[in-house]
Amino acid sequence: MKRQVLIFGVVGGVLITVLKWTEYRFLVLEHSFEIYGALIAALFAGLGIWLGVRMHERRERVVVREVTVPVEVPVSIPASAPFTRDEAKREQLGITPREMEILTLVAEGLSNREIAERLFVSENTVKTHCSRAFDKLGAKRRTQAVQLGKEMGLLP
């Protein structure tokens, strides 16, 4: 930082010396305001370019790479066997058929509005059924409810 101040001071001193040397010349006497303005503009332009280059170099670049990780999925039921819902578990939890239907649509990734349109009910009805089913499963979020439903054999 001290070096940069010293360089600007030396450059300024050289400019002042040059102007003093040509001060009584006709060009300087007639156009001194324009010369001073041009020198100041050139100084600020150089300073701006220097700061822009310096600030641009300091940026850090973050490179994100996607890495595929193979995951082994345990297969307990053959893929050819159709899914059968554990009705005993559903009755034990006290989940109604309508709540089960809505939970199945949640597992398909539908929003409350889409579920309401598909079942011809209001969005508030869907929210009520969802919250009751989540409470019975002990889930706080939709994804957790779907995961628990799959683990308990309620969802495919």
The model's pLDDT over 96-153, given as tens digits with 9 standing for 90+, comes to 889 889 999 999 989 999 999 988 999 999 999 989 988 988 888 888 888 888 888 8
Q: Say whether pTM exceeds 0.75.
A: no
Burial-class residue 75 by CB neighbours within 10 Å (0-12, 13-18, 19+): exposed
Q: Any residues with CB less than 8 A from the CB of 132 and at least 6 apart, and which?
A: 99
Q: Which of 1-15, 48-62, 65-79, 98-112 has the lowest mean pLDDT?
A: 65-79
The 10 Å Cβ neighbour count of residue 129 is 23
The model's pLDDT over 22-36, given as tens digits with 9 standing for 90+, comes to 766 666 567 778 878
What's the rounded Cα separation, in Å, for the pair 149 and 135?
12
Domains located in the chain, CATH noted: 2-56 (no CATH), 87-151 (1.10.10.10)
The 10 Å Cβ neighbour count of residue 21 is 10
CA distances from 26 to 21, 22, 29, 30, 37 (A): 12, 9, 5, 6, 17
